[in-house]
Amino acid sequence: MELEKEKYLRGFMIMMFIMILEKLMVMVMLRDQYLVEKNYLILEGVEPVDQEVKKDPLSETRSTFVYVPRDEAFSEVKSLTFSGNTVYSVLHAVVPALESVVTDPNLGFPHFPAIDSLFNVGVDLPGLGDKKSGLFNVVPRLIKAISDTRKDVLLFESPQLVQRDKFSWFRDVEFARQTLAGLNPYSIRLVTEWPLRSKLDPKVYGPPESEITKELIEKEIGNYMTVEQAVQQKKLFILDYHDLLLPYVNKVNELKGSVLYGSRTIFFLTPEGTLKPLAIELTRPPVDDKPQWKEVYSPNDWNATGAWLWKLAKAHVLSHDSGYHQLVSHWLRTHCCTEPYILASNRQLSAMHPIYRLLHPHFRYTMEINALAREALINANGIIESSFFPGKYAVELSSIAYGAEWRFDQEALPQNLISRGLAVEDPNEPHGLKLTIEDYPFANDGLVLWDILKQWVTNYVNHYYPQTNLIESDKELQAWWSEIKNVGHGDKRDEPWWPELKTPNDLIGIVTTIVWVTSGHHAAVNFGQYSYAGYFPNRPTVARSKMPTEDPTAEEWEWFMNKPEEALLRCFPSQIQATKVMTILDVLSNHSPDEEYIGEKIEPYWAEDPVINAAFEVFSGKLKELEGIIDARNNDSKLNNRNGAGVMPYELLKPYSEPGVTGKGVPYSISI
């Protein structure tokens, strides 16, 4: 009895010692990370700020610090050369400096030359030219020309879009083209039913029927065909932010400086393979004692009033698309939904497991960059909340979209295209898919990259799992997939669309989807941000004024009729919103000098195995071929969505890039 008691006490003491040791290790790691950040800021000349928000001594205190395990943090080279500390410094040095200069947060741009001046005159920032201030070094690319007499000027680089064609953003053909070859190619969908109808409760949101009529559509397409024929022949497409946004309209409209509608935008596929916008419908649900309001706008070149209303309606739709891109296509579907894969891999797979080794390069630095985003980008009153249309409802909207739209099986590119009606299965086509829009640059290049990734994963998986029974007998692998489904995405654990993991083909599909999301998907929605949105009239992040036709007073309508250009400028983001977003988009679009591109360098543990080494050589060679394929497509004059006078070539899925803001390059992982 005494012996058993002694063993129990000894075991208890050992357990307590281990618990204390673990806590001490966590404290040391937290201290080390804090000191690294603090010392970096001091070296850069930026005064470090205590992250803890101090309140009343008796009240709760909170910290904005997000812990990141040491093995997930940026490497020393990456920290010193670029990435996290650059973002951190921009957010904690440049943004506050801008806010101190632009003292009125609601001040808009008085005229379009004032917007142009951001690129040829600059913004006066006191202390910018002083290297001790910390501002000079954190945004070297933005400061493209500082003369001896003007050392305190922040001068933005002209984005590639306006370098090629300064007025492209004004044209409907470019508005439509960017749904296929722009920053958010994930939203355009095929119209499969007519008439359009909301699925929301009409008792709450008003009549569900759309006011985009058959007559209006047929008029806009010049009686080329009936609406029924257009739907049957797959000629009508839609950007549909109606049902997702309508529940937020009244809440957002209570916020200062943001006006929201539910929106639908209809496009027609022309014989030239381009999209032509036909109509925009904006809807406000019932509010107070007012009934539902909705109105349809169409391109109106023969009537000045209609033409300006169309431009204002486009500004609203573009703000919807910008917010959806940032919160759903980008943040949710890449950054957020990759975290469960990372956690499950570290918890359930040993570092020597072949699938861990395959996925590890695709997970580097993601937890670190996500922690930084939670501290200063998507946090309360951060860049997103202060500069994008949902305001304080931004993360809530992202969560609602996750519940309503996210499916693991449809994160695979082929299934995603099929789900949106942009492709159908066809074994006679090169990638097993026939695209509904043949000249769809994102899909054209993406499917080539998808096949290259899948072939690499197939060769790798088949080498380590030559027999089917090895999949189900691998306990680590089964625990990994179970945690992803049941813990990481626990609220969707019972969905019928989760793939099974019983065969090598199952594993190939799962892993290819994960590596596509971290590489191709993220590259397509991230590295073109400054190129497309750096000139904010092309992609405004918020609409600050209501449509002139929504319950106007006599004075409001007269003002619009006399000053339509000023009405558009007032609708655009304010000066501080625009410059803050431009600054951060420049940094987020940047490739660091030590960027790790897919297939560029072989991992040491891959090189150890001759079979995997040979498979990697094939993988790398195919990626180099893709570079040439994309160049050839961009030079093909028959492809109007990526070639033409002043048209930006589509290069977002070119595998390799030099450092900087290039609008191309596909890294392994989500590291910015």
Query: Which residues are known catalytic residues?
Result: 330, 335, 522, 526, 672
Rg value, the chain, Cα: 26
Nearby residues of 630 by Cβ (< 8 Å), 6 or more positions away: 445, 650, 651, 653, 654
* Secondary structure string (H, E, C) spanning 110-176: CCHHHHHHHHHCCEECCCCCCHHHCHHHHCCCCCCCCCCCCCCEECCCCCHHHHHCCCHHHCHHHHH
Which single residue is written with the structure tokens 């391109």?
A: 299
DSSP letter string, 434-495:
EESSS--HHHHHHHHHHHHHHHHHHHHHHHH--STHHHHH-HHHHHHHHHIIIIITGGGTT-
298 φ/ψ angles, rounded to the nearest 5 degrees:
-135, 160
Phi-psi region of 68 (alpha: psi -120 to 50; beta: other; left: phi over 0): beta
| Maximum Cα–Cα distance across the chain | 99
Burial class of residue 496, CB neighbours in 10 A (0-12, 13-18, 19+): exposed
β-pair partners for 434: 424
- Identity of the residue numbered 521: H
Query: CA of 599: how far to CAs of 112, 412, 667, in Å?
Result: 44, 20, 9
* Secondary structure string (H, E, C) spanning 38-68: HHHHHHHCCCCCCCEECCCCCCCCEECCCCC
- Identity of the residue numbered 421: G
Nearest CA to 440 out of 143, 229, 640 is that of: 640
274 near 176, Cβ under 8 Å? yes
Nearest CA to 158 out of 118, 125, 124 is that of: 118
Q: What is the DSSP letter of 666?
A: -
CA distance 220 to 299: 8
CA distance 345 to 347: 6
CA distance 365 to 669: 8
CA distance 578 to 507: 44
Query: CA of 121: how far to CAs of 58, 102, 135, 169, in Å?
Result: 50, 16, 18, 21
